[in-house]
């Protein structure tokens, strides 16, 4: 039984907040949810999501806010799939769709990489960044609190407020994270964990033969973050290319849900029932960013290896490459994934 259905079955008429629920129930969730989670784990996990909303970023936000294992404190925006102003607008739109009761802080971050010119992914995410999905923001109805400062100010500020408790989930270029490190290195070392969607360790890239998009957009920022000594879990293309939506999944699992979130998935991924193709005439839609959220929920979804990763910042064919090297500074790199279990988790949270 997945977490939402378990929750709804036991609290359908009198819901309680997540913290109260997990504090006063002693159910062995590792068996109940089918997830391997220690009984003494602190539920829910406080997280910040740094993103460049895009389509899969939006799906990652839906998964995060619909997961009782996570308590999203803030959502920060960074230049990436689309320009920063559009990213920030999309954050607000997606939160209006989700309508989180515990309104998170939101903040704008960097509008360009640390070095070089911005690179966008309109061909994949559409001009709006959300495919063909349309979300109307209702006047006088806000499901978020706008932070007056920058993202690289908000992130370490929250970390200091919750030392050794916060997990940062970064699913866009790492510019904001690098700037936060430069602003307050001591504060950032109080992060419990950093989960990063990015890189291609033992597989080909998706923007060049050697580089994955998030790292390619700002390899200098990635290098700063990877060499910071923070407790990093990298979720690269090696695993995200193993988790995807297919026409069969859309037709048999997503559409029958017949709710706002299933409709958003269909429209945002630009799924065409006639051709049974997604955007760019693709036969599948990879769940890159949602998998990073999934790893934050349950690391047993993936198999990891401690690796030293070098980020190539030199102009040329290998710009943005993430390569295994010999070294003492290591991060957790995800190299395999239980695709079926993750997909079930993702689909179950669409019904929330």
CA-based nearest residue to 178, from 236, 222, 112: 222
The count of residues in the chain is 352
- Model confidence over 249-258: pLDDT tens digits? 999 999 999 9
Structure confidence at residue 12 (pLDDT): 34
35-47 CB burial, b ≥16 within 10 A, e <16: bebeeeeebbbbb
The pairing of beta strand 322-325 with beta strand 302-311: antiparallel
- Model confidence over 319-336: pLDDT tens digits? 999 999 999 899 999 999
Residues 130, 86 contacting (CB under 8 angstroms) = no
CATH topology of domain 44-244+288-350: Inosine-uridine Nucleoside N-ribohydrolase; Chain A (3.90.245)
Does 125 qualify as catalytic in the annotation?
no
Structure confidence at residue 352 (pLDDT): 66
The C-alpha atoms of residue 24 and residue 104 are separated, in whole angstroms, by: 25
CA-based nearest residue to 98, from 69, 56, 62: 62
Catalytic residue, chosen from 66, 241, 286, 288, is 288
Domain boundaries, the chain: 44-244+288-350
Q: Is 256 exposed, middle or buried (0-12, 13-18, 19+ CB in 10 A)?
A: exposed
The C-alpha atoms of residue 216 and residue 314 are separated, in whole angstroms, by: 11
Residue 266 in tokens: 């269909």
Structure confidence at residue 138 (pLDDT): 81
Cis peptide before 44 (omega within 30 of 0): yes
Structure confidence at residue 4 (pLDDT): 37
The C-alpha atoms of residue 102 and residue 89 are separated, in whole angstroms, by: 19
Residue 24 in tokens: 């006063």
Q: What is the pTM (predicted TM-score) of this model? A: 0.89
264-to-19, 85, 131, 252 alpha-carbon distances in Å: 29, 21, 10, 16
> Helices (DSSP H) in 231-313: which residue ranges?
237-240, 247-249, 260-268, 288-297
Structure confidence at residue 154 (pLDDT): 98
- Model confidence over 26-77: pLDDT tens digits? 233 333 344 434 434 567 999 999 999 999 999 999 999 999 999 999 999 9
What residue ranges of the chain have pLDDT lower than 50?
Answer: 1-40
């Amino acid at each position: 039984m997945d977490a939402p259905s378990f929750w709804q079955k036991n609290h359908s008429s009198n819901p309680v907040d997540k913290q109260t629920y997990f504090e006063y129930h002693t159910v062995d969730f590792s068996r109940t949810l089918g997830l391997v989670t220690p009984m003494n784990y602190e539920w829910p996990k406080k997280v910040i999501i740094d993103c460049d909303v895009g389509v899969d970023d939006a799906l990652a936000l839906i998964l995060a806010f619909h997961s009782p294992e996570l308590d999203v404190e803030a959502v920060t925006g960074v230049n990436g799939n689309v320009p920063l102003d559009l990213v920030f607008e999309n954050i607000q739109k997606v939160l209006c769709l989700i309508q989180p009761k515990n309104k998170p802080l939101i903040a704008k971050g960097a509008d360009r990489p640390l070095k070089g010119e911005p690179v966008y992914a309109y061909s994949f995410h559409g001009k709006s960044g959300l495919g063909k999905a349309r979300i109307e923001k209702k006047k006088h109805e806000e499901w978020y609190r706008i932070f007056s400062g920058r993202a690289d100010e908000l992130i370490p500020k929250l970390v200091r407020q919750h030392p050794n408790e916060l997990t940062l989930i970064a699913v866009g270029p790492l510019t904001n994270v690098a700037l936060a490190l430069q602003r307050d290195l001591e504060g950032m070392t109080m992060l419990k964990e950093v989960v990063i969607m990015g890189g291609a360790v033992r597989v080909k890239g998706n923007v060049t033969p050697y580089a994955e998009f998030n790292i390619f957009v700002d390899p200098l920022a990635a290098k700063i973050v990877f060499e910071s000594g923070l407790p990093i879990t990298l979720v690269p293309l090696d695993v995200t290319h193993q988790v995807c939506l297919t026409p069969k999944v859309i037709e048999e699992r997503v559409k029958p849900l017949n709710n706002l979130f299933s409709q958003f998935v269909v429209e945002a991924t630009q799924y065409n029932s006639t051709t049974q193709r997604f955007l760019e005439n693709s036969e599948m839609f990879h769940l890159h960013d949602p998998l990073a959220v999934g790893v934050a929920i349950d690391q047993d979804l993936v198999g990891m290896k401690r690796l030293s990763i070098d980020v190539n910042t030199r102009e040329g064919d290998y710009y943005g490459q993430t390569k295994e090297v010999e070294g003492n500074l290591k991060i957790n790199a995800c190299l395999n994934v239980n695709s079926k279990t993750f997909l079930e988790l993702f689909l179950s949270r669409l019904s929330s």
